[in-house]
Amino acid sequence: MIPACTHIIDDDEAIRDALQWLFKTRGVACRAWPGGEAFVDAWQPGWRGCIVLDIRMAGMSGLECFDTLLARGCTLPVIFITGHGDVPMAVSALKKGAFHFIEKPFNDHDLVDLVEKALAADAEHQRAAASRETIEARLAPLTSREREVMNLILEGKYNKVIADELSISMRTVEAHRSRIFDKMEVRSAVELAQQLTILRD
C-alpha cells in the first residue's frame, strides 16, 4: 500500500520550500508540486494523503485543479490556501466538498493541525471504503432468491411470514437464511443490517 503523503501545490517556489521545511519539522511526509497541471498529470487513484492547494496560481488555478480532480474521482481531502480576495471562491469550493480553507497569512501550526486532521479523515475514509469493498465482495455470490430472502429478513419478518410470502416451505427459508449468514460472515440479523448500513453510506 502507498504511504499517505501531503501534496503541496503552489506556484511560488519559496512557499513550497518553506512549507516542506515546516512539515518536515513536524514529521509530516510531504511532496511539493509547482502547479496544478503537474499534479493532475501525476495523480493516481490509489494515492492517499491530502492536498494543500493555493488558489491563486499562474497557469491552472487552484479551483480548476480541484474541479479536475473531482471529475477524475479523486477523493483526497483538499485544504485551500487563499488570499483575502479569494475567500468567496474558497467557500464555494468548500461547498463542493473541499476539506477546509485557510486564509493567508496563516498560522503555521493551524495549517499543520489541519493537515493532520485531513490525513486522519482520509485514513478513516480509506478504512470505510475498504470495509465496503469487503461487504460488496460477500454480497456478490448471493443468488437472487437469497437476496430476496435477505431483504425480507432485513425488514424484520419472521421465517413463517417469509415462507408464506414467497410460497416456499419454512425449512427452505431456514436453509436460505443460514446460507446467507454464512456468506455474509455474520451471526445474526442485526449484524447483517449493520454491514448493509455501511454499504449504504
17 binds another protein (CB under 8 A): yes
What is d(CA 77, CA 165) in angstroms, rounded to the nearest whole number? 47
11: DSSP letter: S
Least Å distance between CB 132 and another protein? 38
Minimum CB distance to another protein smaller for 2 or for 14:
14
Pick the stretch among 20-28, 72-80, 152-160, 182-190 that binds another protein (CB under 8 A).
20-28
Minimum CB distance to another protein smaller for 34 or for 83:
83
- DSSP string computed for 105-173: S--HHHHHHHHHHHHHHHHHHHHHHHHHHHHHHHHTT--HHHHHHHHHHHTT--HHHHHHHHT--HHHH
Pick the stretch among 34-42, 67-75, 106-114, 166-174 that binds another protein (CB under 8 A).
106-114
12 binds another protein (CB under 8 A): yes
Give the three-class secondary structure for 100. Answer: strand
18 binds another protein (CB under 8 A): yes
> Is 154:192 a contact under the CB 8 Å cutoff?
yes
Q: 50 is written with which cell numbers?
A: 491530502
Distance of CA 102 to the CA centre of its chain: 21
Selected binder of another protein within 83, 172, 174, 181 (CB under 8 A): 83
In Å, the largest CA–CA distance within the chain is 75
26 binds another protein (CB under 8 A): yes
Selected binder of another protein within 91, 92, 96, 109 (CB under 8 A): 109
Pick the stretch among 43-51, 98-106, 159-167, 180-188 that binds another protein (CB under 8 A).
98-106
94 binds another protein (CB under 8 A): no
Beta partners for residue 5, in sequence order: 49
Binding interface with another protein (CB under 8 A) = 12, 14-15, 17-19, 21-22, 24-26, 56, 83-85, 104-106, 108-109
